[in-house]
Structure 1
């Protein structure tokens, strides 16, 4: 009686990938302590850490994917550390390995649009510019739309490219690493909506009082 072992749950590439994500998180946290006032609201500190983390992920991880997936190339036929990283993720979602046009199109917007917008909002946060709340809503809407368009077409076609048989692939790569880009943008939108709504209502009340 013979049996074949399935794919390993955790690999060396997995360890390097998750370690790099952890390092990005630490850099984002340290930068918040350096660039934000000590008395900053915890909400603003959290937003700064997230946006710094978001920007670095967009420019490094997703930027490398975009580079590997354009000009007729693809991850599956590329070499190098970032190619190995994306080959690892492609084991969970095969579309990232052969440069699915929808995924690449979304990553163009993410790297060239969302990444720079994160940096602009970080500058506004450091300067305590309230105009950041508008751009946070714009960015968060784009992040949510990007997540929807990444997975909805796959769900509608039977999820044929997703591998949910491996615990790491499903719970870490597909669930955690994507749900976090849903929950945090939603929270940021709610927080910024509160600021925008209060400001507009206060301005409206002041205008009415002035007319009386």
Structure 2
């Protein structure tokens, strides 16, 4: 008996992908478009900051660029998924084709999986706008920058850890694999592209905790100094 031809290229082949249509663009074109979009975001932000804060330290500029990129990806790209996830498999919008390319590494995005839908909804609604807010706070040296940076970075880190762990649980415990067998899709798409939201938020949390600790230490020293001066004046 001849096995039926799969209706889509995603794993598991039995996954219910509604109204699937193959992409019009080659994957190299899609990756080039994504890279060009990121470069445009970086370039526009860099030029804007050259006028607004020309003497912003390089380390701060890099963090600001990161949050602007996060804001764009979370709000627009992941927001597109949240709004169109039911019909995305049959669409040819550039964002839809980028998602369908990424889905070779994780087909859950094409099957109305409740976890990825809830996670991406929180990301698009909360972490996207707040990322733009943090970029603004960095540019204006706002005193609440580090508390917000901890909140957003922790949300990104926590969401990414859950994203990895739920997929690995299904793979190794339930024997359900969402990634095609080609190593490229697993290591470059699934592991590599998501690792940024482990490494960078982890560093930013550590950095903000250090800055917060220093601020409270300096405040405590100031208060002790003021209290000491007050006691000395009373004695005199």
Structure 2 length-normalised TM? 0.77
More relative contact order in 1 or in 2 (CA 8 Å, sep 6+)? 2
- 1:191 matched to 2:204: no
- Look up the match of 1:12: 29
- Look up the match of 1:145: 158
Instruction: Give the unaligned 5+ runs of structure 2.
Output: 1-25, 229-236
Q: What are the residue-to-residue correspondences of 1:43-192 with 2, within 5 Å?
A: 43-69=59-85, 73-158=86-171, 160-163=177-180, 165-167=182-184, 169-192=185-208
Cα deviations by residue, 1:116-164 (Å, 9 ceiling, x for unpaired):
1011112211211121011000000000011012121111111611235
Supply the RMSD in Å over aligned alpha carbons: 2.2
Q: Find the aligned partners of 1:43 and 1:156 in 2 and give their Cα distance.
A: 37
Structure 1 length-normalised TM? 0.85
- 1:22 matched to 2:35: no
Shift in CA distance, 166/10, structure 1 to aligned 2, threshold 3 Å? farther
- 1:203 matched to 2:219: yes
Residues 47-56 or 20-29, more deviating = 20-29
Which protein has the larger Cα radius of gyration, Structure 1 or Structure 2?
Answer: 2
Instruction: Give the unaligned 5+ runs of structure 1.
Output: 1-8
Aligned residues: 200
